[in-house]
Amino acid sequence: MATHHLLVLDIFFFLTGLSGTQSVSTVSQVSVKRGGSITIPCLYGQIYRNHVKYWCRGSGWLSYSNVVRTDHPKTSGKTSISDDINQQMFTVTITKLSPSDSDYYWCIVEKECTDDGVGLQLSVTPDGTFVKLQQEQRKNTNGLVLTVKLTGLRMENTG
């Protein structure tokens, strides 16, 4: 019987300013190994605690399609969403990733006029190995931490 090992990569970064701001934050680009799983954290400001959050797929803000929402069944196929209003973060998990899942995705918070969201590029490859974080900092009074957990990655010596 073969033993299968999964490498779980935890990436922590402190957001220095989500409190009092109204925007949404997440990683900007990630590559995951085919067959693996990923949980994407989407952080939001306190003003959005009771708003509907959703995860969309598509290259442009106006050309995306809803995948899962916090006000509907929270699972669709291999994608699920959950919202932790105390941590001001919703997470989206996609399992059994295949190359056809490679696309641009959006973490979005529903608002009265124009929704607020941020996009990220997800690539599913035979040997996915990287995560790119957004290059931004914000002031935060309550020390929120963004954690990305990936499975199915391989170790790589980068020098």
Give the domain range for residue 25.
Answer: 9-150
Task: Please check whether residue 76 lies inside any domain of the structure.
Answer: yes
Q: What would the pLDDT profile of 66-93 be if each residue is shown by its tens digit?
A: 889 999 889 899 999 999 999 999 999 9
Task: Please check whether residue 61 lies inside any domain of the structure.
Answer: yes
Q: What is the CATH number of the domain that holds 127?
A: 2.60.40.10
Task: Please check whether residue 4 lies inside any domain of the structure.
Answer: no
> For the chain, how many structural domains are there in total?
1
Task: Please check whether residue 132 lies inside any domain of the structure.
Answer: yes
Residues whose CB is less than 8 angstroms from the CB of residue 61 and which lie 6 or more positions away in sequence, other chains included: 106, 117, 119
Task: Please check whether residue 48 lies inside any domain of the structure.
Answer: yes
Q: What would the pLDDT profile of 90-141 be if each residue is shown by its tens digit?
A: 999 999 999 999 999 999 999 988 899 999 999 998 875 555 544 444 434 4
Radius of gyration of the chain (CA): 16
Task: Please check whether residue 33 lies inside any domain of the structure.
Answer: yes
What's phi and psi for 90, nearest 5 deg? Answer: -110, 150
